[in-house]
Amino acid sequence: MNELLRQDAELLWHPYSSMSEPSPMRLVQGADGVRLRLDDGAGGTVEAIDAMSSWWCMIHGYRNPVLDEALRTQIDSFSHVMFGGLTHEPAIRLAERLVEITPAPLRHVFLCDSGSVSIEVAIKLALQYQVARGHQGRTRMLTVRGGYHGDTFAPMSVCDPVNGMHSLFTGALAQQVFGPRPPAGYDGDEAAIAAWAAEMSELAERHATEIAAIVVEPILQGAGGMYAYSPGCLRILRELADRHGFLLILDEIATGFGRTGTMFASEHAGIDPDILCVGKALTGGYLSLAAMLCTTDVAHTVSSGPGGALMHGPTFMGNPLACAVALASIDLLLADDWRTTVGRISTGLSKGLAGAVGLSGVRDVRVVGAVGVVQLDGPVDVPRMTEAVLRRGVWVRPFRDLVYTMPPYISTDEEIAQIGLAITEAVGER
Ligand SMILES: *Cc1c(COP(=O)(O)O)cnc(C)c1O
């Protein structure tokens, strides 16, 4: 085995990895545009389209000249300064742009290191908000099953209790209130939605004095199962929040920046959250950065409450390199006709994955915006499926019973077709 890979197995944890039984790794030699250049294990290289956009992030592709240049320019100015008592133009311009492109009531921005941390901050803000309003007892979150909100403790407490493996951390996790998963499908069945709404309403009522906020991923649950649901369900959650004085926190870390066909997925429902979290594609995949945005009501209520401040302040808050590249990435997106791009990818994925419908072992094929999903009737053999797709020039990272793709926005029609065909053929080969 390659010496580097041997060291990797000995030294490094990877996401959800075992040190005693390390899973197969591919060494990246380079990446350009939509393509990864991987070591083939025999002294050569193999090229593959990154159908994952490095987990929702790399929307404009690798080595994007505009993003590279934004980083170089900022490096030549300064790479980092503390954000306490100091500020800088990249953070200010980024905040301005985020306020412009997110739902209108969101006016204030907290910049932090990662999606999970932004959820931590959102939950903290919601708790402080309720305290400021005299509701000390409102310390729990209301959410739905099937969600994923990150891996640190507060986000983990609102992840699906089964898939999120709450049993491993019994006693250490905040006890949140879980409603049923919204009925499946963007065009969810009306009777099923009404029944779901009644259950959510009953839960909200029963726990009204304990709940600070509702937390969900709008329209599309990502790592909890690549599961789409009706915008109507979001409107129901907005009503419940208003009726009971809960805040509505929308986690758009995966769905943000056009991925579902609207700039933010909440737009499908025509509702506005009180708190919004974005991350992943925020920097075009270049650096770790996330943002939490909130309304003026929330910001001012917390600021005039006990403590008089939002109690959070990471060391690398508002990192100038990350802010500069995020601003460049958003501007690149806005300069493109991104709606048409996402629509084109969506159509391409629907066509490309159509062949998987009805294959033996395939339970469901679905496309939401620029996200394509093939759900099998059992767990995927991840190393085998990864290799089968890679042999066809495409990189995917399946999980549980899902083989899925969210291609870079710069993918051509031919590349989208190749992704669809590679997944379909690999699934057919099982
Ligand atoms: C990835 C993700 C997170 C966590 O973000 P990290 O940057 O990995 O901490 C939270 N919520 C959703 C919906 C995500 O997809």
Q: What is the DSSP string of 104-167?
A: TTEEEEEEESSHHHHHHHHHHHHHHHHHHTT-TT--EEEEETT----SSHHHHHHS-TTTTTGG
Buried b (16+ CB within 10 A) or exposed e, 69-104: ebbeebeeeeeeeebeeeebebbebbbebbeebbbe
Decide if 331 is catalytic.
no
Nearest CA to ligand 1 atom 15: 254
pLDDT mean across residues, the chain: 97
Q: What are residue 399's DSSP bridge partners? A: 402
Residue 158 near ligand 1, beta carbon < 6 Å: no
Q: According to the model, what pLDDT value does residue 430 have?
A: 77
**Spatial separation of the C-alpha atoms in residues 390 and 400, rounded to whole Å:** 19
**Spatial separation of the C-alpha atoms in residues 105 and 47, rounded to whole Å:** 45
CA of 76 to the centre of ligand 1 (A): 31
Write the pLDDT tens digit of every residue in 298-321.
999 999 999 899 999 999 999 999
Q: Token pair 């010496």 is at which residue?
A: 3
Across residues 262-286, what is the average pLDDT?
A: 98
Write the pLDDT tens digit of every residue in 224-268.
999 999 999 999 999 999 999 999 999 999 999 999 999 999 999
| End-to-end Cα spacing for the chain | 27
Write the pLDDT tens digit of every residue in 357-408.
999 999 999 999 999 999 999 999 999 999 999 999 999 999 999 999 999 9
Across residues 333-355, what is the average pLDDT?
A: 98
The alpha carbon dihedral of 383, 389, 394, 399 has a sign of negative
Write the pLDDT tens digit of every residue in 82-111.
999 999 999 999 999 999 999 999 999 999
Whether 355 and 347 have beta carbons less than 8 Å apart is answered as no
Q: According to the model, what pLDDT value does residue 225 have?
A: 95
Q: According to the model, what pLDDT value does residue 1 have?
A: 64
User: Is residue 59 over pLDDT 80?
Assistant: yes
Share of the chain above pLDDT 90, in %: 97
Q: According to the model, what pLDDT value does residue 292 have?
A: 98
Write the pLDDT tens digit of every residue in 33-54.
999 999 998 889 999 999 999 9
Q: According to the model, what pLDDT value does residue 128 have?
A: 98
Q: According to the model, what pLDDT value does residue 163 have?
A: 86
Q: According to the model, what pLDDT value does residue 391 have?
A: 97
Select which of 272, 280, 286, 409 is catalytic.
280
Probe target for ligand 1 pocket from 52, 118, 148, 220, with the most ligand atoms within 8 Å of CB: 148
**Spatial separation of the C-alpha atoms in residues 163 and 175, rounded to whole Å:** 16
pTM of the model: 0.98
Residue 253 near ligand 1, beta carbon < 6 Å: yes
Across residues 210-221, what is the average pLDDT?
A: 98
For residue 280, which atom of ligand 1 is closest to its CA?
A: 7
Closest to 337 (Cα-Cα) out of 258, 417, 416: 258
User: Is residue 161 over pLDDT 90?
Assistant: yes
